[in-house]
Amino acid sequence: MEAIREHPALQVQLQYHGLVPDQLWDRLVARIQKDNPLLSKEWAEMIMDGALGFLKLCADFPGNGFAPSKMVDIGWHTFLMYTKEYQEFCQRVAGHFIHHVPNDIPGREGSTAKSTRVFMDGIAMVYNPSVWGKTAECGEEGDCGMDHCETSCDEDGGCQD
């Protein structure tokens, strides 16, 4: 895997960039920017890095039913459009295809981005809270401290995705 790359503008380390070839990385980041013209290249890179980290988590812990944050999901959806490269990545990293299974069945409780973050914290996985949100409890204002996501507090005082 490529050495950790520190992002110059935001002082954020890109942990998972090395899981894909540089040429594919550049194409994915450019596509995120094209589809989301208000995002800077720096944010597009952090989103893609988060998506690659999420997919690595899914590969390393199959069957756990993890859920990405809204921002990480942007990167995953982008990668899915590059079907040949995505299939090769899944085979190389996981040994099998990592399916995208929406959790939109009414009344069915599933994993959330919050439960995925709690799991990542439990295994000491490095991730960028700017694209994943924070697991800290909500403050008195009902604000989860999340940047760039619409969230609110749930009845337990945690962040609701």
In DSSP notation, 40-79 reads: -HHHHHHHHHHHHHHHHHHHHSTTS-----HHHHHHHHHH
Q: What angle do CA 123, 128, 130 make, to 5 degrees?
A: 135
Ranges of the chain whose pLDDT falls below 70: 1-12, 105, 107-109, 134-161
Residues 117-134 have pLDDT tens digits of 999 999 999 999 999 986
Specify the pTM: 0.77
pLDDT at 133: 81
Give, in degrees to the nearest 5, the angle at Cα 47 between 9 and 12: 35
Model pLDDT, residue 65: 86
Task: Write down the pLDDT at residue 149.
Answer: 36
Cα distance between residue 157 and residue 115, in whole Å: 14
Strand 12-14 to strand 5-7: parallel, antiparallel, or no bridges (unpaired)? antiparallel
First to last CA, the chain: 31
Give the CA-trace dihedral at 37, 43, 29, 159, to 10 degrees.
Answer: -100
Confirm if 120 and 16 have CB atoms less than 8 A apart.
no
